[in-house]
Each structure stands twice: as structure tokens, then as C-alpha cells.
Amino acid sequence: MISCADFMAAIGDYLEGDVAAEVRAQLEAHLSHCSTCQVVYDSARKTITVLTDSGSFDLLESASKPITEKIMARIRSHERHS
Ligand SMILES: [Zn+2]
């Protein structure tokens, strides 16, 4: 079973479809029972969809890492406060 940290580390590759089948299965299994990662995944996917629809693939590439880092920072601060 993977952790939220593992999921966050792999979400960029997962969103790009750049993961092995067994890794994808683990990520999807985690996603199916973790509401925190569902929220993160949904917002990251929507953000990337907006960037993709705008046709800015260069922007997508340069933005995907900072987005993941911002989301992770939010998760970390959430964990600190709870
Ligand atoms: Zn999680």
C-alpha cells in the first residue's frame, strides 16, 4: 500500500500517463480510498486540463512541477494544523 507522500511524488507522472501499469494500479487503489488525494488529483487534473486546452504545452511542462509543489505544500500545512 502506498502513502499519500508516494501518491504526491508520482501524481505528475500519473497525470501525464507516464507510469508503469503496476504503479498506475497502486495509485488508483490509493485514490479510491483517500479523499485527500482525490481532492488533490481533481484540482491538479483540472488545472492541467485548462493548460492543455489553451494549447500551451510548453506552459504545461513548466507549470506541472510548481503546481504539484504548491499542492504538496498545502497538504503539509494541513497536516501541521490537524
Ligand atoms: Zn492519499
| 3-state SS string for 23-73 | HHHHHHHHHHHCHHHHHHHHHHHHHHHHHHHCCCHHHHHHHHHHHHHHHHH
Rounded Cα distance between 22 and 44, Å, is 22
- What is the per-residue pLDDT for 15? 86
**Which pLDDT score, from 0 to 100, does residue 24 have?**
95
Distance from residue 55's CA to the centre of ligand 1 (Å)? 30
pLDDT top residue among 38 and 79: 38
pTM for the model: 0.62
Distance (Å) from CA 3 to ligand 1 centroid: 6
Supply the pLDDT for residue 57.
55
Q: What is the pLDDT of residues 7-66, one digit of tens each?
A: 999 998 898 888 999 999 999 999 999 999 999 999 888 887 776 676 655 555 555 566
* DSSP-based three-state secondary structure for 5: helix
